[in-house]
Structure 1
Amino acid sequence: MLDTIILLCFIAAFTWTFTELLLYHLHMFQLNSYKPKEHKIWLKAPDNSRKLILLLLQFALAMSAYLLFNMAGKCIGIIFLCFMAIMNRPVKAKKPLVYTNRVKRMLITSYVIYTLFLIIGFVLNRHIYATALIFFIIAVLIPVWVLIANRINQPIEASINRGFINEAQSIIDSMPNLTVIGVTGSYGKTSVKFYLQKLLSAKYNVLVTPENFNTTLGVVRTIREHLRATHEIFVCEMGAKNIGDIKEICDLVHPVHGVITSIGPQHLESFLSIDNVIKTKFELADAIGKKGTLFLNYDNESIVNHKTDNNVITYGIHNEASTYRPYDVSVSSKGSAFKLKDTQNKEWEFSTRLIGAHNVVNIAGAIAVAHTLGVPMEALVVQVRRLEGVPHRLQLIKGNHALIIDDAYNSNPSGAKAALDTLNTFEGIKIVVTPGMVELGSQQYECNKIFGAQIAAVCDYAVLVGSKQTKPIQDGLLEADYPAAKTYVAEDLKDALAYVEKLNTNSVQKVVLLENDLPDNY
């Protein structure tokens, strides 16, 4: 009787630990966009591999104590499992696990598999080492448990998703007069999307994909929940991490016009090469063909060098061949101003509260699209003046003790350099808070090292988040002879901000650039 109670206590403790770890890995799988390929890359990361090995050793210790010793040893094994469960409870996340219907289905499948293992364990109860082997197999499989559940559920998920896609397709097909504008790029696409919404709304009823809804299912959800017969233009942001992602969205929404905002080293862990990035972004151009217009940022070398047969209108500051080219650009801490000539060679003056030269380029792209679609320049001048910053993208925030430039959404080499250039336009003590850049594949070390050198040229203080993650930045600072006393390596963002707040600047205003904020799967 006592042995049965002890066994049940062991199973309860093991199940508790299993549940906490399952929820953690399910959360990471969700952050990896439910994509097995990306989740496997995450699992193979050195830090995660070490954690998994340590976890297996902990399971081995708990089970050894239960198997090899007397009743006291069994109790120690159970207590150790409970301790593991407590230690692996999810911490407060920046983006918590969302219990979507898909997550719930994966949980059900996971527990069905787990229950089958338990039944086998009970059947083999007389053979204690065979039972132990069953539990150890469960422990070994925990890191890939969500992948197994996802694979089992795949036919169900595919059927459900196909139903949603077909419904969205029917809605699009029922609106033949709807003008769809696709917006893609390695960076800048979300900003351009929201600028387009503001500028086009001077003449049209416009719907845009909300926030960072830029996957196929995100677009499907937008169409099903928000697209109405009264909408005249649908601005669809198109994100991609693999070849074919843009084509998949284009096959759904059938864009008439498109904007490619930039091409750069982004998501190279999945794309593997910059050529694959270029190929994927220009899937939008292939979808448009000759039926509409492709708007290209001609300040981007990769875009300029890629030949296309589309009807093209270009924009940019530095390339004189640009159709819409801002000039006499003035960028300061108070905003930006520039002049621009329309297709009739008439000069127009624009001003905006938005900061940063690359925002001027993004605005020029939005002006090019809106003007081509018939919005008068007079109206565009007014709408540009009314533009508001996109959250976490060079968003200016006045804090109690500092002026914050929030560029925390994500980071890339071009955007990080532009953010530092923007910071350099401000008066005061310039401070950068950053964990560096990720998803740059084999270029990650070198790009972050260069970023370190760029920080050294602009910032009075460098606050780096995470010692291992920011090692390349530290090397770049060291190579640039940046004073060690002006560098602080924080454990996390909370520690970094606490350091900034305590920093004594003798009443001189602090200007703090928050450059990138890594998600919970980093």
Structure 2
Amino acid sequence: MILTMVLFILLLVAWGLPVTTKSKQSVHMLQLNSYRNERYAKWMGSNRDKVFHLLEISYLLPVILAIISDSINITFISATVVFVLTFVVFWKTKPTQKKKLVITPRVQRLFSTTYIIYGLMAAAAIILSTMASLAVTIIFLSLVAVLPFYVVRLANTINGPIEAKISEGFVKDAKRLLDTSPDLKVIGITGSYGKTSVKHFVHAVLSDKFNVLMTPESYNTKLGVTRTINEQLKPYHDILIAEMGAKQEGDIQEICELVNQKYGILTAIGEQHLETFKTLDTIKKTKHEIVETLPEKDGVAILNKDDENIMSHQAKNPCRRVYYGVNEEDVDLRATNIAFSPKGTSFTVRLVNGEEEQFRTRLLGKHNVYNILAALAIGLEMGMSLKQMIQPVKKIEPVKHRLEYDHR
């Protein structure tokens, strides 16, 4: 009897290992889907192989043994071994997502609710072991071990009202901080690709003359931008650069309504996140939300004129446009004479008024020329000259995971 109790306790511990690991994966995916259950549900529908891992078929082994075997101890041992082996495989499997799980207070609350739910399930298993058959207990444990993605979704639903109140308070705090900084100039940056590099390049150029704050790498949602403002914005900052990501229509508009940007950079438009946007036209409309929300009188949209998807959608906002490009000649800033060497890239930037300067960077790739042009366009809007921006461009550091010259 004592041995059976010990083995049952070991079984519950072993059961908790894959449950904990899979719950972490589930929370990670929920975070990547901005904690939105509807997005999370769509992801689950498209990734059944991750929601239900093929290895979990092995959970049938202890279930079968519980039905046909007369030995309770053998069944407990087999179930323990299966759960431990599953945990080892889950633990050794490398995540495919580039962005790691960020342990925020919200994630901690989500884990707490998830583990409370699973704690209740463990208690239910203990009750079942005394009131029902062994087979029922094993079947119950095996079933709920497969369901962390659904349990995390339930936990997120339970936490929803609390999180809404907390988020509302954070957003109000951020708006209050922005209202007390009337001279702060806000730059919004979005695009299907290139926005992170442009953010860093704009920061590098403008920091030569101004005190600049930019959102960190993964903080491109409304709550991410809110957190940046609340935790990092200081009275001495002249400029705030907000990267704006989107996975569905209205996402960028939400961020714009928070920060009220005066300058909006649209880098490029592609077919990213089609699983949520459904059509390229919806992506175009969503990305142009950064233009539509600019002040009509003094707002400035900075657009890549070489990008066909940007130019094929006309925003209704009559605010001023500044165009940059390489192929198109009718632009405000154009890069020509682009040359690549082991030391990086050199090119000439010519303005619409005929002014031109030679630039050099140790960054590689034509895409980085476009990104630098966007940064130069903002610099000009801030009163800097092309000549003043030559050295800042030369000093631009490569953005992690982007193409760069290896000078070792």
Same fold (TM over 0.5): yes
Residue equivalent to 2:52 = 52
Residue equivalent to 1:505 = none
Instruction: Report the CA distance shift for 1:136/1:98 in structure 2 as closer, same or farther (over 3 A).
Output: same
Residue equivalent to 2:70 = 70
Residue equivalent to 1:320 = 329
Instruction: Report the CA distance shift for 1:292/1:20 in structure 2 as closer, same or farther (over 3 A).
Output: closer
Are 2:202 and 2:375, in contact at CA under 8 Å, matched by a contact in 1? yes
Are 1:202 and 1:375, in contact at CA under 8 Å, matched by a contact in 2? no
The 5 Å alignment of 1:255-404 reads: 255-290=261-296, 291-308=298-315, 309-398=318-407
Instruction: Report the CA distance shift for 1:346/1:206 in structure 2 as closer, same or farther (over 3 A).
Output: same
What is the CA-CA distance between 1:372 and the residue it aligns to?
2.2
- Comparing 124-133 and 223-232, the one that deviates more: 124-133
Alpha-carbon separation, structure 2, partners of 1:146 and 1:213: 22
What is the CA-CA distance between 1:218 and the residue it aligns to?
1.7
Are 1:66 and 1:76, in contact at CA under 8 Å, matched by a contact in 2? no
Alpha-carbon separation, structure 1, partners of 2:53 and 2:89: 16
Of 171, 174, 179, which aligns to 1:173? Answer: 179
Instruction: Report the CA distance shift for 1:86/1:264 in structure 2 as closer, same or farther (over 3 A).
Output: closer
Alpha-carbon separation, structure 2, partners of 1:320 and 1:238: 29
The DSSP-based 3-state class of the residue aligned with 1:345 is coil
Of 240, 243, 246, which aligns to 1:237? Answer: 243
What is the CA-CA distance between 1:319 and the residue it aligns to?
1.0
Are 2:342 and 2:405, in contact at CA under 8 Å, matched by a contact in 1? no
String of CA shifts for 1:7-62, please: whole Å, max 9, x gaps: 3343333233322332333334334443434433443346x427726344222222
Is 1:134 equivalent to 2:140 in the alignment? yes
Are 1:22 and 1:142, in contact at CA under 8 Å, matched by a contact in 2? yes
Alpha-carbon separation, structure 2, partners of 1:57 and 1:231: 56
Instruction: Report the CA distance shift for 1:51/1:164 in structure 2 as closer, same or farther (over 3 A).
Output: closer
What is the CA-CA distance between 1:95 and the residue it aligns to?
5.6
Instruction: Report the CA distance shift for 1:271/1:261 in structure 2 as closer, same or farther (over 3 A).
Output: same
Count of residues in Structure 1 that have an aligned counterpart in Structure 2: 398
Which letter maps to 1:127? A
The DSSP-based 3-state class of the residue aligned with 2:166 is helix
Is 1:104 equivalent to 2:104 in the alignment? no
Instruction: Report the CA distance shift for 1:357/1:7 in structure 2 as closer, same or farther (over 3 A).
Output: closer
Instruction: Report the CA distance shift for 1:198/1:50 in structure 2 as closer, same or farther (over 3 A).
Output: closer
Residue equivalent to 1:431 = none
Displaced runs of 4 or more, over 6 A: none
Alpha-carbon separation, structure 2, partners of 1:96 and 1:364: 31
Are 2:117 and 2:151, in contact at CA under 8 Å, matched by a contact in 1? no
Instruction: Report the CA distance shift for 1:192/1:15 in structure 2 as closer, same or farther (over 3 A).
Output: closer
Residue equivalent to 2:190 = 184
Alpha-carbon separation, structure 2, partners of 1:50 and 1:315: 43
What is the CA-CA distance between 1:184 and the residue it aligns to?
0.8
Alpha-carbon separation, structure 2, partners of 1:377 and 1:172: 30
The DSSP-based 3-state class of the residue aligned with 2:228 is helix
The DSSP-based 3-state class of the residue aligned with 2:327 is coil
The 5 Å alignment of 1:143-162 reads: 143-162=149-168
The 5 Å alignment of 1:32-43 reads: 32-43=33-44
- TM-score normalised by structure 1 residue count: 0.71
Are 1:110 and 1:146, in contact at CA under 8 Å, matched by a contact in 2? yes
The DSSP-based 3-state class of the residue aligned with 2:301 is strand
Of 87, 90, 98, which aligns to 2:89? Answer: 87
What is the CA-CA distance between 1:333 and the residue it aligns to?
3.5
Instruction: Report the CA distance shift for 1:51/1:194 in structure 2 as closer, same or farther (over 3 A).
Output: closer
Alpha-carbon separation, structure 2, partners of 1:17 and 1:201: 47
Instruction: Report the CA distance shift for 1:34/1:398 in structure 2 as closer, same or farther (over 3 A).
Output: farther
What is the CA-CA distance between 1:298 and the residue it aligns to?
0.2
Instruction: Report the CA distance shift for 1:58/1:271 in structure 2 as closer, same or farther (over 3 A).
Output: same
Alpha-carbon separation, structure 2, partners of 1:333 and 1:112: 57
What is the CA-CA distance between 1:115 and the residue it aligns to?
2.6
Are 1:333 and 1:355, in contact at CA under 8 Å, matched by a contact in 2? no
Instruction: Report the CA distance shift for 1:118/1:340 in structure 2 as closer, same or farther (over 3 A).
Output: closer
Are 2:174 and 2:230, in contact at CA under 8 Å, matched by a contact in 1? yes
Alpha-carbon separation, structure 1, partners of 2:254 and 2:299: 19
Alpha-carbon separation, structure 1, partners of 2:88 and 2:347: 57
String of CA shifts for 1:287-332, please: whole Å, max 9, x gaps: 1041311111000011112223221111101111111112222233
Are 1:20 and 1:90, in contact at CA under 8 Å, matched by a contact in 2? no
Instruction: Report the CA distance shift for 1:120/1:322 in structure 2 as closer, same or farther (over 3 A).
Output: same
Instruction: Report the CA distance shift for 1:132/1:177 in structure 2 as closer, same or farther (over 3 A).
Output: same
Alpha-carbon separation, structure 1, partners of 2:67 and 2:102: 38
What is the CA-CA distance between 1:398 and the residue it aligns to?
4.2
What is the CA-CA distance between 1:220 and the residue it aligns to?
1.4
Which letter maps to 2:118? Y
The 5 Å alignment of 1:7-22 reads: 7-22=8-23
State, as a whole percentage, how many aligned pairs show the same letter. 36
Are 1:350 and 1:384, in contact at CA under 8 Å, matched by a contact in 2? yes
The DSSP-based 3-state class of the residue aligned with 1:88 is helix
Alpha-carbon separation, structure 2, partners of 1:108 and 1:58: 28
The 5 Å alignment of 1:215-234 reads: 215-234=221-240
String of CA shifts for 1:315-364, please: whole Å, max 9, x gaps: 10111111111222223332222223334322322222222222112212
Are 1:293 and 1:313, in contact at CA under 8 Å, matched by a contact in 2? yes
Are 1:62 and 1:81, in contact at CA under 8 Å, matched by a contact in 2? no
Are 1:317 and 1:361, in contact at CA under 8 Å, matched by a contact in 2? yes
The CA RMSD measured in Å over matched residues stands at: 2.4
Are 1:24 and 1:90, in contact at CA under 8 Å, matched by a contact in 2? no
Which letter maps to 1:119? A
The DSSP-based 3-state class of the residue aligned with 1:397 is coil
